[in-house]
């Protein structure tokens, strides 16, 4: 006898996404993957906390090392025309020269939680490769109302030996007028002071002779990204990516199921 021909299997029938999503196996899978995503989120938050704790400890160590470091000759770190790199930020340098007229007030600067102004003064270098160039120097901070009715304190006269922390130039704002500015921008300062001009500026640490006028000394400058431990931050991002992948995996599986390509899909039994 001849065998009866086999009946071809019925082709899977696509269904709407929402219908596939409410199937028991899809709901159970969603709960499992949401639990996994929640665990990943918590682990990411824990790693972020560790990044902040370790980053703060590293920043304290960095600031301590900066405060204890001896100043280096400015020529050994930066010369006119060179750009202040991230490695140069907060390096303590020493330079000899004289303060010049043209002092500016930098507005909108916070210090210890209080908004005030910085006093920015041109310093003409008198020794080394930078002889004749101008280094902008932030001599200190004052409350905003201290310069409402009178100019900021004058710098020491004559030859001055100063030490300062280096910092890079800020983005130009185009708002320098009437002895006030919103940014310490080398291109803008070059239009006001006679150059050549250093590309960054110094934050005063100490000077001989000393200055008067109640200016408050600033903390060492910080580099972008300080305060967070990069390794722990990367771990946090990885955990959050894993959590997002778990949710995306459920969407992908349900979509395949809706198209009739999911594992064990039976259009007769599942959709009856």
Provide the CATH number for the domain around residue 191. 2.40.50
121 and 202 together in one domain: yes
37 and 99 together in one domain: no
For residue range 114-173, what is the model confidence (pLDDT) as tens digits? 999 999 999 999 999 899 999 999 999 999 888 888 889 999 999 999 999 999 999 888
246 and 176 together in one domain: no
| Per-residue pLDDT, 271 | 45
Strands 134-143 and 114-125: antiparallel
Asked whether residue 223 is assigned to any structural domain, the reply reads: no
Q: Give 76's pLDDT tier (boundaries 50, 70, 90).
A: very high
130 and 42 together in one domain: no
Asked whether residue 164 is assigned to any structural domain, the reply reads: yes
Share of the chain above pLDDT 70, in %: 89
Interatomic CA distance for residues 41 and 249, integer angstroms: 16
174 and 237 together in one domain: no
Mean pLDDT of 211-232: 78
Total count of domains within the chain? 2
| Per-residue pLDDT, 256 | 84
257 and 156 together in one domain: no
43 and 137 together in one domain: no
| Per-residue pLDDT, 121 | 96
Asked whether residue 22 is assigned to any structural domain, the reply reads: yes
189 and 239 together in one domain: no
How far is the CA of 15 from the CAs of 2, 252, 253, 263, 264, in angstroms? 39, 15, 13, 15, 15
96 and 199 together in one domain: yes
Single out the residue in 208, 237, 261 at which a domain terminates.
208
Asked whether residue 184 is assigned to any structural domain, the reply reads: yes
Average pLDDT score over the chain? 85
Residues 100 and 124: beta-carbon distance below 8 Å: yes
Asked whether residue 28 is assigned to any structural domain, the reply reads: yes
| Per-residue pLDDT, 61 | 76
Is residue 229 over pLDDT 80? no
103 and 177 together in one domain: yes
257 and 199 together in one domain: no
Mean pLDDT of 57-70: 75
138 and 174 together in one domain: yes
The better pLDDT of the pair 25, 11 is held by 25
Is residue 202 over pLDDT 90? yes
| Sheet strands (E) in the chain | 72-73, 92-99, 104-111, 114-125, 134-143, 159-167, 180-181, 201-208
Residue 47 structural domain = 17-54+228-270
Is residue 261 over pLDDT 80? no
Q: Give 267's pLDDT tier (boundaries 50, 70, 90).
A: very low
Single out the residue in 180, 208, 236 at which a domain terminates.
208
Asked whether residue 3 is assigned to any structural domain, the reply reads: no
Strands 180-181 and 104-111: parallel
| Both structure tokens of 100 | 């010049």
Interatomic CA distance for residues 76 and 131, integer angstroms: 14
The better pLDDT of the pair 24, 161 is held by 161
| Per-residue pLDDT, 102 | 92
């Amino acid at each position: 006898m001849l065998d009866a021909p086999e009946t071809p299997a019925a082709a899977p029938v696509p269904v709407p996404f929402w219908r596939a999503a409410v199937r028991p196996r899809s709901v159970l899978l969603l709960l499992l993957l949401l639990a996994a995503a929640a665990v990943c989120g918590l682990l990411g938050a824990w790693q972020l906390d560790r990044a902040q704790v370790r980053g703060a400890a590293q920043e304290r160590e960095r600031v301590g090392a900066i405060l204890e470091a001896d100043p280096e000759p400015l020529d050994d770190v930066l010369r006119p025309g060179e750009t202040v790199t991230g490695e140069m930020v907060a390096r303590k340098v020493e330079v000899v020269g004289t303060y010049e007229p043209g002092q500016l007030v930098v507005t909108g600067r916070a210090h210890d939680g209080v908004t005030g102004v910085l006093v920015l003064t041109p310093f003409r270098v008198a020794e080394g490769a930078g002889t004749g160039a101008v280094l902008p120097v932030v001599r200190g901070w004052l409350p905003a109302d201290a310069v409402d009715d009178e100019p900021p304190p004058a710098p020491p006269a004559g030859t001055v030996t100063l030490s300062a922390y280096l910092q890079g130039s800020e983005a130009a704002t185009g708002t320098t007028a009437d002895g006030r500015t919103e940014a310490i921008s080398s291109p803008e300062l070059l239009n006001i002071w006679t150059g050549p001009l250093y590309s960054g500026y110094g934050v005063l640490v100490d000077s001989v002779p000393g200055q008067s006028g109640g200016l408050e000394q600033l903390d060492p400058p910080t580099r972008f990204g300080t305060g967070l431990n990069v390794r722990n931050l990367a771990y946090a991002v990885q955990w959050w990516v894993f959590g997002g992948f778990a949710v995306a995996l459920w969407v992908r599986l349900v979509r395949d199921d809706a198209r009739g390509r999911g594992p064990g899909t039976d259009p007769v039994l599942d959709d009856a």
